[in-house]
Amino acid sequence: MRLEGRRESENVEDRRGMSTGTKVGLGGIGGLIIAGLITLLMGGNITDVLQMGMQEGGSVAPQEMTQEEQELDKFSRQVMASTEDIWSQIFKEYGIGEYPAPTLVLYRGGTQTACGQGQAAMGPFYCSGDQNVYLDLSFFQTMDSQLGVKGDNSSLAKAYVIAHEVGHHIEYLMGTLDKAHQRMQATNQTNANKYSVRLELMADFYAGVWAHYESQMFGSISDRDLQEAIDCAQKIGDDYLQKRGQGYASPETFTHGTSAQRMKWFKKGYQTGDVRQATTFQESDATL
């Protein structure tokens, strides 16, 4: 993915080297973080992740950034700037109004959020309580080592991770996130998981819409870039991760969608670039 000469976002808060904070309880599902892309890695589940988020944090000593981290830092800021430019344009085109961009928070290990104590083990996440996207850059190393996601430090696969979380911000601005949370609070766990899947697939779709405009406006995405992003979507499907972690998949526990679903909705966003086709909540289970 070619980003040479592109601007870096100014909506960035760097908390690396700061204390991770003290114990903060995570509230009800209506105010919780929509977990990032690797929640179920190696057979884990959302309950385990939330319990980890409630543990008391320690402190993080200041560290010098490695060359790799410097590259990822710049890349992340450039991708955020791209999402700002593109979603501002989309909001204008569709007459939605001015686009209020989220803030990218970079941290190490753990950090306090309006949604509770965030942990790197949760992967990247969006918190609607403060409208921030939280990212520990070590997650990109996890993508390489644990998932074998192809691509260098400026790959579309890594940009997709950020664009997905910005997709949750779009859901929040559209009112979809709060409505889904209300429904999740009022139903059983199995149905709540189904709502979660539809939110995650919608965020994948919005990530695809961003990639559509990124390619159209800047010509920055090659066929190889696109294939790497689709490969990433395949490797973060609930069924793929559960089979890898525990040897079998439990569909009733899915919270992010299958590999096929995640690839489908990302590709649909990329191919159409039409935000009106974010119809994951209108689809039946069979067509989702």
* Mean pLDDT score across all residues of the chain: 85
Among the residue ranges 12-21, 72-81, 169-178, the one predicted with the least confidence is 12-21
**Residues in Cβ contact with 252 at an 8 Å cutoff, skipping those fewer than 6 apart:** 190, 193
pLDDT at position 285 is 93
Residue 139 pLDDT greater than 80, yes or no: yes
Q: How far apart are CA 76 and CA 257, in angstroms?
A: 25
pLDDT in tens, 234-280: 999 999 989 988 999 999 999 999 999 999 999 999 999 999 999 99
pLDDT at 153: 73
Q: Angle 77-58-14 (CA atoms, 0-180°, nearest 5)?
A: 15
Beta strand segments in 15-100, E? none
- Residue 21's pLDDT band, with cuts at 50, 70 and 90, is very low
Question: In this prediction, what percent of the chain has a pLDDT beyond 90?
Answer: 74
Cβ neighbours of residue 46 under 8 Å, at least 6 residues apart? 35, 39, 40, 196, 255
Q: Distance between CA atoms of 83 and 170, rounded to whole angstroms?
A: 11
pLDDT for the residue 282: 97
Find the helix or strand (DSSP H, E) in which 183 lies.
Answer: helix 176-185
Q: Quote the CA–CA distance of 88 and 166 in Å, as a whole number.
A: 13
- Cα gap 36→39, rounded to integer Å: 6
pLDDT > 60? residue 11: yes
Q: What is the pLDDT of residue 264?
A: 97
The length of the chain, given as a count of residues:
288
